[in-house]
């Protein structure tokens, strides 16, 4: 049978077991560079997951998974704090066993295209700590540039930098620009899922 490449999918209810497995398997790896989610996250996983789906259902945030052929989650790529028609904040994490092969860079680039074409956004922002060299490299390779300091409140207690990328008319055909959603400001609860 032909080998299927990983696919970027919107977060769904039936992804929950695979998301939990991804978070558990990579907990220590993630905690080495970003804030640990804490035991509560895992104790209350189902309630929190359902709350995220409700936010997404309401059109407040957009959560994506990079899913392997076997259904396992290779990465999470999310748009937060969407100001519809304008901007959103980007967050991502990639499984340790596929790290270092360009997965984050390629998927951030894909999400930039989706942010423009599917979500009608013009810019994306992302904050990363000074210590997180891998994430800084991902952002630079995906066309983001530093725009100012990120505070410890943005980064779980660490100092860092905000990056921004203009999504630009280049990724939008005139028909797609026509179809982009109209602007209505929607604030998203800041809950990295």
Ligand X SMILES: CC(C)(COP(=O)(O)OP(=O)(O)OC[C@H]1O[C@@H](n2cnc3c(N)ncnc32)[C@H](O)[C@@H]1OP(=O)(O)O)[C@@H](O)C(=O)NCCC(=O)NCCS
Query: How many residues make up the chain in this entry?
Result: 193
Q: Which residue from 101, 113, 130, 190 is in contact with ligand X, where contact means CB under 6 A?
A: 101
Neighbours of 58 (CB within 10 A): 10
Q: Is 78 in the site for ligand X (CB under 6 A)?
A: no
Q: What is the footprint of ligand X within residues 119-138 (CB under 6 A)?
A: 128, 132-135, 137-138
Q: Which is nearer to ligand X, 16 or 98 (CB)?
A: 98
Q: Contact 78/60 with Cβ under 8 angstroms?
A: no
- Least distance from ligand X to the Cβ atom of residue 112, Å: 14
Per CB under 6 A, 52 contacts ligand X: no
The secondary structure of 115-137, three-state, reads: HHHCCCCCEEEEEEECCCHHHHH
Binder among 53, 68, 99, 186 for ligand X (CB under 6 A): 99
Residue with Cβ nearer ligand X (56 or 128): 128
Task: Please pick, from the candidates 100, 148, 149, 156, the single residue that binds ligand X as defined by CB under 6 A.
Answer: 100
Confirm if 135 and 160 have CB atoms less than 8 A apart.
no
CA distances from 172 to 96, 118, 175, 180 (A): 33, 10, 8, 9
Query: Please, what is the minimum distance in Å from the beta carbon of residue 84 to ligand X?
Result: 23
Q: Which residues of 164-176 are buried (b: 16+ CB within 10 A; e: fewer)?
A: bbebeeeebeeee
Is 93 one of the binding residues for ligand X (CB under 6 A)? yes
Taking the complex as a whole, how short is the minimal distance between the CB of residue 15 and ligand X, in angstroms?
Answer: 18
| Nearer of residues 77 and 84 to ligand X, judged by Cβ | 77
The order of strands in the sheet holding 87-94 is 7-10, 62-67, 73-83, 87-94, 123-129, 160-166, 145-150
For residue 73, state whether it binds ligand X (rule: CB under 6 A): no
Is 41 one of the binding residues for ligand X (CB under 6 A)? no
Contact positions vs ligand X (CB under 6 A):
30, 33-34, 92-94, 99-105, 128, 132-135, 137-138
């Amino acid at each position: 049978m032909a080998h299927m490449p990983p696919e970027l999918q919107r977060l769904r209810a039936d992804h929950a077991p695979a998301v939990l497995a991804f978070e558990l398997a990579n907990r220590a790896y993630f905690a080495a560079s970003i804030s640990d989610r804490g035991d509560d996250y895992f104790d209350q996983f189902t309630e929190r997951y359902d709350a995220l789906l409700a936010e997404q259902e309401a059109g407040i945030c957009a959560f994506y998974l990079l899913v392997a052929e076997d259904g396992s989650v290779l990465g999470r790529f999310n748009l937060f704090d969407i100001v519809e028609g304008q901007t959103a904040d980007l967050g991502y994490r990639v499984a340790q066993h596929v790290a270092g092969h360009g997965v984050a860079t390629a998927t951030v680039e894909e999400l930039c295209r989706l942010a423009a074409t599917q979500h009608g956004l013009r810019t994306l922002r992302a904050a990363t700590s000074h210590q997180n060299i891998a994430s800084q490299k991902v952002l630079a390779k995906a066309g983001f540039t530093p725009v100012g300091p990120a505070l410890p409140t943005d980064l779980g207690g660490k100092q860092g930098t905000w990056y921004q990328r203009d999504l630009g008319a280049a990724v939008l055909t005139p028909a797609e620009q026509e179809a982009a959603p109209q602007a209505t400001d929607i604030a998203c609860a800041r809950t990295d899922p």
